[in-house]
Structure 1
Amino acid sequence: MEQFKRFKEEITRFLMMYKFALDSLETKIEILKEEFHFLHDYNPIEHTKSRLKSPESILNKMNRKGCDISFVSIRDKIKDIAGLRITCSFVSDIYRIREMLRSQSDLTILETKDYIEHPKPNGYQSLHLIVEVPVYMSDRQEKVCVEVQIRTIAMDFWASLEHKIFYKYNEAVPLRLLQELKEAADSAAALDKQMERLHNEIAEIKENHEASEIAKTKRIIIKDQEYQIPAALLEMIDIGQGND
């Protein structure tokens, strides 16, 4: 009984490290999201979703790998015990978020798998990162791995439905269905490209309009005649306001 109690405490403490790593990473993502929105009036992150593997799932994966069952072995062999999925609007957002994570001095990206540049044969697309996160326990610091998946809404929609279609499907999938799923993935990728092009064009129109509005503020109209305000006069106005 005492041995079981000790084991339960050990596995609870072990999984808590991964929960804390997820909490820390989600806090960072939230800060980056708010900062980006404040500076650029745009939010690259639609939503996030985190998960922890259950002890049963961890043991099953270790058995499939044929590994020894120990906490040291589990930490060494399984890098996706903690997982964070980040869903974006556009493909460019995916790589922007990766760079935002890379710029964090206390995070280390240990591994990158780019299934956008190199999609899986079935059409799956996503950017997978293994990120090492520092976790500060009461008596020590631990470096814990978290798998981060970054994908667009279209990629996430396809992946979620593909998983539901094949969940617990043990028989060979007909070739026709595999081809249709691949075509659906190609359609999702084409939609991503089209929507990003539209987004960029609209952003350019908005930028040109704002530039035009700024230019108008540097002109005055007297008796239907438009005059450009000299730069030196604008500078004097700025100086005067500064003295106030």
Structure 2
Amino acid sequence: MMIEKSGSIRLKDIPIPSGATPEQRELAQGMVRVNHLYRSALKVAVTQMEILDEEFASLYDHSPIHHIEYRIKTLESISDKLRRRGYDVTIDNIYAYIQDVAGIRVICNYLDDIYYLRSLLTRSESFKVLREVDYIQQPKESGYRSLHLIIDVPIVISEGTLHLPVEIQLRTIAMDMWASLEHELRYKSDRNFSDSDAARLRLCSEAISEIDREMQDIYQGKEPSYHE
């Protein structure tokens, strides 16, 4: 199952003040091209994931892919990220410093599925892995767990072949549930988020990690490591 989180951006969707400078208008036009190019790279990477998903569904009893989500970062989010990092909002800086304009989230059933998909992607001749961060083996302080890959995706356009980065996040259903609710509680909720809340969420992350391991053992038919 594929779920797209955002749509196309057109020039008329970008607010341009009536008194905008030529530089501001050029930036708006450049943003539309950025969106088009990264959507093209996203399509190439998503198509490859669809091919794998269909192969598993057609030929094998088990598919490591539960579902796939993908999105293009919003213009507001891109601009905010550049400013947080101390960079001006320019087209050149987007290409130079933002590697997750295009993003795919692959939700897997079991822990082993994540590393199996990773092995398929990293040995692919189509994509080159630019960066890998394993937040499963080394979770973030918040308790966040996921495997992140930045892959170099070639796209053919009228000017020739262009290479752009696409971020792929691999996580289990349980990890995705935790990450979604943690984001909601920390950033979207009206309630005050306390240090106690953060500590409780870390405990939830550890419990979910244990559940992931136990569910995988059950799937593989392993006997429990404890005795009732």
TMscore range, shorter length: 0.7 to 0.9
**Aligned-partner Cα distance in 2 for 1:123–1:143:** 33
Name the structure 2 match of 1:60.
80
Choose the corresponding residue for 2:34, options 14, 31, 50: 14
Within a 5 Å distance, the mapping from 1:28-43 to structure 2 comes to 28-43=48-63
**Aligned-partner Cα distance in 2 for 1:8–1:178:** 39
Within a 5 Å distance, the mapping from 1:48-197 to structure 2 comes to 48-168=68-188, 173-197=193-217
Q: Is the 8 A contact 1:112 1:128 kept in 2?
A: yes
| Amino acid in the other structure paired with 2:128 | T
- Structure 2 length-normalised TM: 0.82
> Can you list the C-alpha shifts for 1:174-209, whole angstroms capped at 9, x where unaligned?
23222211111111111111110110118xxxxxxx
CA separation of 1:178/1:130 partners in 2, compared to 1, >3 Å: closer, same or farther?
same
Deviation at 1:112, TM superposition (A): 0.5
**Aligned-partner Cα distance in 2 for 1:182–1:6:** 45
Report which of the two has the higher share of helix.
1
Q: Is the 8 A contact 1:32 1:100 kept in 2?
A: no
Structure 1 residue matching 2:221: 3-state secondary structure: helix
> Can you list the C-alpha shifts for 1:195-234, whole angstroms capped at 9, x where unaligned?
10110118xxxxxxxxxxxxxxxxxxxxxxxxxxxxxxxx
CA separation of 1:50/1:67 partners in 2, compared to 1, >3 Å: closer, same or farther?
same
CA separation of 1:198/1:171 partners in 2, compared to 1, >3 Å: closer, same or farther?
closer
* Structure 2 unpaired stretches of 5+: 1-19, 223-228
- Structure 1 length-normalised TM: 0.77
Structure 1 residue matching 2:143: 3-state secondary structure: coil
* Structure 1 unpaired stretches of 5+: 203-244
| Amino acid in the other structure paired with 1:159 | A
Q: Which moved more, 1:8-17 or 1:140-149?
A: 8-17
**Aligned-partner Cα distance in 2 for 1:105–1:111:** 16
Name the structure 1 match of 2:11.
none
Deviation at 1:36, TM superposition (A): 2.7
**Aligned-partner Cα distance in 1 for 2:83–2:182:** 26
Deviation at 1:40, TM superposition (A): 2.5
Q: Which moved more, 1:88-97 or 1:58-67?
A: 58-67
**Aligned-partner Cα distance in 2 for 1:42–1:184:** 28
**Aligned-partner Cα distance in 2 for 1:38–1:168:** 40
**Aligned-partner Cα distance in 1 for 2:126–2:72:** 22
**Aligned-partner Cα distance in 2 for 1:69–1:2:** 15
CA radius of gyration, larger in: 1
Within a 5 Å distance, the mapping from 1:204-243 to structure 2 comes to none
1:200 aligns with 2:220: yes
CA separation of 1:171/1:75 partners in 2, compared to 1, >3 Å: closer, same or farther?
farther
Name the structure 2 match of 1:229.
none
| Amino acid in the other structure paired with 2:214 | Q
| Amino acid in the other structure paired with 1:105 | E
